[in-house]
Amino acid sequence: MSSTVIATDELKPKAKAEEVNYLNVEHTISSWLLTGDHKRIALLYLVSTTFFFLLGGMAAGMIRYELTSPAGVVLESDTYNKVFTSHGIIMVFTFLVVAIPAVFGNFLLPLMIGARDLAFPRLNLGSWYMYMTGGTLILAGMLFGGVDTGWTFYTPYSSMYSNTQVSLVIVGIFIAGFSTITTGINFVVTIHKMRAPGMTWFRLPLFVWAMYATSLMMILATPVVAITLLLVVFERTFKLPIFSPELGGDPVLFQHLFWFYSHPAVYIMILPAFAVISELVANFSRKRIFGYHFVAFSSLAIAGLGFLVWGHHMFVSSQSMYESIVFSLISYLVAVPSAVKIFNWMATMYKGNVVMASPMIYAIAFLMIFTVGGLTGLVLGGAGTDIHLTATYFVVAHFHYVMVGGTMLAFLGGLHYWWPKMTGRLFNDRLAQINAVIVFIGFNLTFFPQFIVGWMGMPRRYHYYYFAPEFQAYHIMSTLGSTVLALGFIWPAFYLTMSLFNGKKAGPNPWGAHGLEWETSSPPPVTNFLETPIVMDEVYDFDPEAEHAENRRRIEAAEAAKSDERKGSMEDHQ
């Protein structure tokens, strides 16, 4: 090829690459650390939550390794307590509560409603700094000796007896909690006041509805746990005797206040997952979601009911039988809005043009796993059965089915789905599809044996089970599974990062999805939209027949491209 031809051919893509977007507008470190742009803050959160997830995952690995032998392998009892506490605290407070809202919520909320930014950009940046301060204090606590109370900090052990870094870690959680609160405030105000013209409440994507419900819970529940944990610190440092039984204080009161937050907190962790799954299912089924209003209001119903069920964590904590019955009944009610969502998603897929791209595989895996997790939740929500299963691996398995199989899979699904929007690059979807299957297999291999071994009586938080060596097979299965799962979590980091360097340009809407965020360029410009969008069409307004034709066209185009490529490579060889 002659030199002049190269010059003209390469000029065009170069000019395109220099299109100003939020990533290339400035390159200095301070332009990232002092940014008010919700998209940049979302990426800051993505990097930092991934870091904490890695740490929590390492603690999980140690737990699984320890449990491969009935007598324990390497850890002392004290160390083991600290390891599982680290795992719980890091995963709950610095990953699960934060991950989806702060990463995808931050990035997408303004894009989805057609706003230029969140209502309070500086507060948003402040929340990231609070999160990092809190996370750093938590890590400092782990480094300076760790905490052995479990992530629940039950009194009086945490307030009177534990000689570990409880205060430091709690202060960290307290500060990280304020980051959650400020994010919640920002989201609520943004959804109320920043919607583009024509974006009515019932044209909001379901992601936004679920984020709204999540934010409400963040706002109402987090302050309660903040003050409750602060009182534990006050008791440790100033001898403020709120929960100390020897002065007439009530240690069980701590559990009430703690679960008043922490039960809504598990919905703070799972509702954002629902948010992501609603988007994935509707967009990859190429259909308007079935029962839009029901799915939207089921999020609010879960948020409301979530505040009335905390007592089901306390069936064996000196709570009266009548309380237990009431809490048990209300807990069963939560199953209704959750089931509404599951059934509506399945009805959406029915007769849709389902595209089995990697995000959709994650979504389907989510549906299967979450259904198991949800139904076993009913087993635990029933006061009678729970007494048999309290503090066994059955609880552990249920929790991980909901939190890992639910939130983590939705996180991965969302990450794959919005990666082209965030970075402007396409990744290798074939690898991602394989990875989704690996995660699904690894996950079930890890946690399904725990249901069985828990039912048989394996207590949680034990690092030995010499009293029942027959559990070993299940534990080894679980540890093997966790290795597979770890592979499934690490691999995306490689192929997604690779896509930054050699991925194809994504274009505004690589998935053929519906929604405002897909109407702007990828990556979006600093102000999200060059002109304020005016919303004319309904949400998920797919035309099934056109979609079908489009589908066929795309398949044909892909085949044509493949044969072209083959020709091209043959020519190269020649």
Partner 1 sequence: MSAITDSMDHGHGHGHEPGLHHQYEDMVQQTESYIVGMWVFLTTEVMFFGALFFIYTLYRWNYQRDFYIAHEHLNVLMGAGNTTVLLFSSFTMVMAVQSAQLKKRMHVMGYLVVTLMCAFTFLIVKYFEYASKIADHLYPGAGFATDAKLAFGEHAMEGGKLVANMNHVQLFYGLYFGMTGLHAVHIIAGILVIIALIRLWYNKANSVIHDYVPTEMVGLYWHFVDLVWIFLFPLFYLMPKPH
Taking each helix axis from N to C end, the angle separating 393-402 and 429-456, rounded to the nearest 10 degrees, works out to: 160
User: CA-CA distance, 40 to 60, in Å (whole number)?
Assistant: 30
Judge contact between 508 and 523, C-beta under 8 A: no
- Which of 189, 329, 346, 498 binds partner 1 (CB under 8 A)? It is 189
Q: Closest Cα to residue 279, out of 423, 108, 134?
A: 108
- Residue 372 has a CB neighbour count (10 Å cut-off) of 18
Q: Which is nearer to partner 1, 228 or 278 (CB)?
A: 228
Q: Minimum distance between the CB of residue 177 and partner 1, rounded to whole angstroms? A: 10
Task: Using CB under 8 A, pick the residue from 223, 291, 459, 508 that binds partner 1.
Answer: 223
Q: Which residues contact 205 (CB under 8 A, 6 or more apart)?
A: 112, 278, 279, 515, 539, 540
Contact 274, 345 (CB under 8 A): no
Contact region with partner 1 (CB under 8 A), list: 219-227, 283-291, 441-449, 460-468: 219-227
Rule CB under 8 A: say whether 247 interacts with partner 1.
Answer: yes
The mark string for 80-119 relative to partner 1 (x by CB under 8 A, - otherwise) is: -----------------------------------xxxxx
CB atoms within 10 A of CB 78: 11
State in angstroms the smallest separation of the CB of 223 from partner 1: 4
Name residues whose C-beta falls within 8 Å of residue 514's C-beta, 6 or more positions apart in sequence. Answer: 282, 283, 539, 540, 541, 542
Query: 200, 532, 563, 569: which one contacts partner 1 (CB under 8 A)?
Result: 532
Residues in contact with partner 1, shown as a per-residue x/- string from 346 to 385 under the rule CB under 8 A: ----------------------------------------
Map tokens 């709204």 to a residue: 212
For partner 1, what does the binding mask look like between residues 119 and 148, x meaning CB under 8 A? xxx---------------------------
Dist CA 58 CA 127 (whole Å): 26
Q: Which of 4, 12, 18, 246 binds partner 1 (CB under 8 A)?
A: 246
Looking at residue 288, the DSSP 8-state letter turns out to be P
Element holding 146 (H helix, E strand): none
279, 100, 442, 361 alpha-carbon torsion, rounded to 10°: 10
Among 230, 240, 95, 83, which Cα is nearest to 164's?
Answer: 83
Does 526 contact partner 1 by CB under 8 A? yes
Please, what's the b/e burial string for 184-221 (b: 16 or more CB within 10 A of its CB; e: otherwise)?
bbbbbebbeebbbeebeeebbbbbbbbbbbbbbbbbbb
228 sits near partner 1 (criterion: CB under 8 A)? yes
Number of residues that bind partner 1 (CB under 8 A): 52
Question: Is residue 534 involved in binding partner 1 (CB under 8 A)?
Answer: no
Name which of 282 and 303 has its Cβ closer to partner 1: 303
Confirm or reject binding of residue 181 to partner 1 (CB under 8 A): yes
Q: Does 242 bind partner 1 (CB under 8 A)?
A: yes
Residue 531 is a binding residue for partner 1 (CB under 8 A): yes
DSSP string, 192-211: HH-PPTT--GGGS-HHHHHH
Nearer to partner 1, 149 or 186 (CB): 186
Environment class of 384 (CB within 10 Å of its CB; exposed 0-12, middle 13-18, buried 19+): exposed
Single residue of 31, 136, 200, 497 touching partner 1 by CB under 8 A: 31
Q: Mark the segment that binds partner 1 (CB under 8 A) among 213-221, 336-344, 390-398, 537-545.
A: 213-221
Q: How far is CA 19 from CA 14, 36, 464, 518, in A?
A: 9, 20, 59, 17
Least gap, CB of 27 to partner 1 (angstroms): 11
Cβ 2 to partner 1 shortest distance, Å: 38
DSSP label at 392? B
Pairwise CA distance, residues 43 & 500, whole Å: 14
| 124 versus 353: smaller Cβ distance to partner 1 | 124
Q: Looking at 23, 250, 333, 461, which residue binds partner 1 (CB under 8 A)?
A: 250
Position 227 contacts partner 1 (CB under 8 A): yes
Q: According to the binding rule CB under 8 A, does residue 188 interact with partner 1?
A: yes
Query: Shortest approach of partner 1 to residue 137 CB, angstroms?
Result: 19
Among 208, 257, 265, 402, binds partner 1 (CB under 8 A): 257
For residues 248 and 574, which CB has a smaller minimum distance to partner 1 in the complex?
248
Nearest to 386 by CA among 452, 331, 312, 451: 312
| Residues near partner 1 (CB under 8 A) | 20, 25-26, 31, 35, 37, 115-121, 181, 184-186, 188-189, 192-194, 219-224, 226-228, 231, 234, 238-242, 246-250, 253, 257, 260, 525-527, 530-532
